[in-house]
Chain A
Amino acid sequence: MTEHSEDNKTRIISNALYFSEVQRMLDEGKEVRIRIKGGSMRPFIQDGDSILLQAYRGGALQPGSNLLARHQGKYVFHRYVGKKNGQIVLAGDGNLVLREYIDPIDIIAVALVHFPQNSPKEINLNHSRARFRGLAWYHIRLLRRVVAKLNRMAQP
């Protein structure tokens, strides 16, 4: 009758419903810990790692911070990499080309801490080192595309 998400019996709850609950709790002023699904933030955040979120209530954003935001009716957890024409530009660390352009109002939360799945480590995501490392990784996308292409060509 009960299921536990760490029990290899993970239940899928609709993203929209799940995030409306996350948002409700953030609105109550709580910090909320969620699990990351997918590899769009690799190599820094892996599928299954969790992060601690704090509601975004306007104000200055730190470049390189990790944001939970609404984008085209979906939810993304990506890095803030810059601004363009008054919009916020987000990019997944694991993505080579894709960027998301959102309005500040679409930002739901800023991530504070990263908890890798198989380690007791807690990483402060807003420390300048973590942010600059992420931004540097974004700015070498062209190089990463070349490497990815070479890797593909090298495969039989």
Chain B
Amino acid sequence: MKLRSDLVLRTIGSDHLIVDPSQDSIDLSTVYTLNSSAAWLWEQLKGKEFDQTTIVELLCDNYEVDVEQAQSDAKVLLGDFEKQGLLEK
């Protein structure tokens, strides 16, 4: 799977927003916010083909989490990405 390439991650203060800038207009009435680790993951995954294992590896390599925790976090994150339509179809 892949993240939608038309979406842009913006950091405003301490908040990370995913905005959907279509050609001439930007919808800021419905924005997705990510916490800092999800935003970091977004940057790592951008433009790449990935799956749940990729996320688990990234989490384990960069955060002090055990594999089980990383797997459950990755599953929740992917579920959210999918539900919010942030993945390419």
Tell me if B's interface is mostly helix, strand, loop or mixed: strand
Contacts of B33 in A (CB 8 A): 2-3, 5, 11, 13
Given contacts A13-B15, A17-B15, whether A1 and B31 have CB atoms under 8 Å apart is no
Contact residues of A: prevailing secondary structure: mixed
Residues A4 and B30 in contact, CB atoms below 8 Å apart: yes
Q: Are A6 and B25 in contact (CB under 8 A)?
A: no
**Which bracket fits the contact residues of B?**
20 to 34
Q: How many of A's residues come within 8 Å of B, CB to CB?
A: 25
* B25 interface neighbour in A5, A13, A14, A32, Cβ under 8 Å: A32
Q: Which residues of A contact B18 (CB under 8 A)?
A: 2
Please tell me if A50 contacts chain B, counting CB pairs below 8 Å.
yes
Q: What's the nearest-Cβ distance from chain A to residue B31, in Å?
A: 6
The contact string, 1 if C-beta is below 8 Å from chain B, for chain A 1-25, is: 1111110000101100110111001
Asked if B13 contacts A13 (CB within 8 A), the reply is yes
Q: CB-defined interface of B18-35 with A at 8 Å, one 1/0 digit per residue?
A: 100100111111111111
From B10, B26, B37, B86, give the contact of A32 (CB < 8 A).
B26
In angstroms, Cα B86 to Cα A25, docked, is 21
> Complex Cα distance A11/B33, Å?
8
Nearest CB on A from B80, distance (A): 4
